Structure formats: structure tokens, C-alpha cells
Amino acid sequence: MADMGGAASANSATEMLEDGVRRRDWIHIAALSTAGVGAASVLIPLVSQMAPSADVLAESTTDVDVSAIQPGQSIRSVFRRQPLFVKRLTAAEIAEANAVNVSSLRDPETLADRTLPGNEDLLVTMGVCTHFGCVPLGSNEGENKGDFNGYFCPCHGSHYDVAGRIRRGPAPLNLAVPNYEFKSEGVIRVG
Ligand code: FES
């Protein structure tokens, strides 16, 4: 199921994001993620597949098994070569997110706007700060979640809330929610 391209590519990926994603996160990625490309890539020569073009990357999808994520837990994956955060919210965190006056937000979105219907507890966002693209903290146990119990970007001090919405600091927008859907029970397909 997992397609990590061997130890060499795993090491390369680790080096590529070593300042933002710790090695053990990539171990999680190896265990929980698969990446695929759309049918169009079938016709693309092998050489091109080894060094995917921008078009192929743009069409790529990532499947993430979310079935084992317990309330209050998060995992990291990778989507189109960028960190992806997947968090299972607790009932208290859902209530906290829904208690916010949305009109007061810099980038007004409800939790429902940012999740799939019937799955408000599953928050899927890019792990990329919308200021200058650093990887925020908060998806690993014990990390600084900022002042709003979500994510904290240490580069310039952006605080995101429990729903990944920008609440303080220079970031202009909420953490992006990629397109995704349930591919099967417990597995989402991102992209
Ligand atoms: S890159 Fe995150 S606050 Fe600047």
C-alpha cells in the first residue's frame, strides 16, 4: 500500500523538510499514507514519472488512513510535497470552535465550513502557515499549540485556533483545507 520510493527517497524527503518536519513524523507518514497520481500519468514516460512534472504533481492525490486517530490526536501526512495535518477533535474542541463569533475572525469560517458534513470532528488542513509558509507547531503531542489551542507558527508568531483559523499574528488566512473526500470507511483521499 505505501509507496515511499525506498529508503533513498525517504531520506531525501526527510532532508527536504528537516527544518519543519521531524524524522518521526515521516515515520508516521510511511505508516499512514499512500500517494498516487491520476490516470493521465499512465501515458507519461517512466523517466518523467521518476521526476514528476508540475502538471503531474498538481493532479496527485494522497490517501490517508484516519481510522486510528482518536479524539484529541493528530497525525501528519504529506500532500503534493507539503505537510498535511489531520486532527480528530474532541467534543470539547468542537464546542470551543463553534463558540467563536465567526464575524470577528480575520478569515471568517465556521468549523462546518472547514470539515465534511457529518464529520465535523475531522479537521484536515495543510501544515503550511499562510504568512510565509513555515510549518506550524501543534500537531505533535507536547508542541506549542499557541494561545487558541490549535497551531502556533514560530517563524513570526501566528496563532491558529482549534479549527485551524488564524486568530493572532501576521498570517492573513486560515490554514488551507485541501479538497478531500472519504475514499472508503476510515480512509480519506486528498486531492
Ligand atoms: S511564516 Fe508563519 S508567522 Fe510568518
Whose alpha carbon is nearest atom 1 of ligand 1? 132
- Closest atom of ligand 1 to 132 CA is 1
Is 156 catalytic? The answer is yes
Pocket test of ligand 1: the residue of 82, 126, 134 to mutate, having most ligand atoms within 8 Å of its CB, is: 134
pLDDT surpassing 60 at residue 39: no
Cα(5) to ligand 1 centroid in Å equals 31
Q: What is the pLDDT of residue 8?
A: 38
Q: How far is CA 153 from the centre of its chain?
A: 14
Measured between its terminal Cα atoms, the distance across the chain in Å is: 18
Pocket test of ligand 1: the residue of 137, 151, 156, 167 to mutate, having most ligand atoms within 8 Å of its CB, is: 156
Q: CB of 119 within 8 A of CB of 66?
A: no
User: Binning pLDDT at 50, 70 and 90, where does residue 38 land?
Assistant: very low
- CB neighbour list of residue 14: distance below 8 Å, 6 or more residues apart: 21, 23, 26
Q: Report d(CA 71, CA 87) in Å as an integer.
A: 8
pLDDT surpassing 80 at residue 12: no
Q: Report d(CA 112, CA 93) in Å as an integer.
A: 13
Tell me the mean pLDDT in the region 91-96. 98
Q: Which domains can be identified in the chain, with CATH numbers? A: 6-190 (2.102.10.10)
Query: How confident is the prediction for the chain on average, in pLDDT?
Result: 81
- Total count of residues recorded for the chain: 191
Q: Within 6 Å (CB) of ligand 1, which residues are found?
A: 129, 131-134, 153, 155-158, 169-171
Tell me the mean pLDDT in the region 80-93. 98
Q: For residue range 112-171, what is the model confidence (pLDDT) as tens digits?
A: 999 999 999 999 999 999 999 999 999 999 999 999 999 999 999 999 999 999 999 999
pLDDT surpassing 50 at residue 33: no
- Determine the residue type at 114: R
Q: What is the pLDDT of residue 44?
A: 38
Q: Report d(CA 65, CA 107) in Å as an integer.
A: 29
* % of the chain surpassing 70 pLDDT: 70
Q: What is the pLDDT of residue 58?
A: 64
pLDDT surpassing 60 at residue 5: no
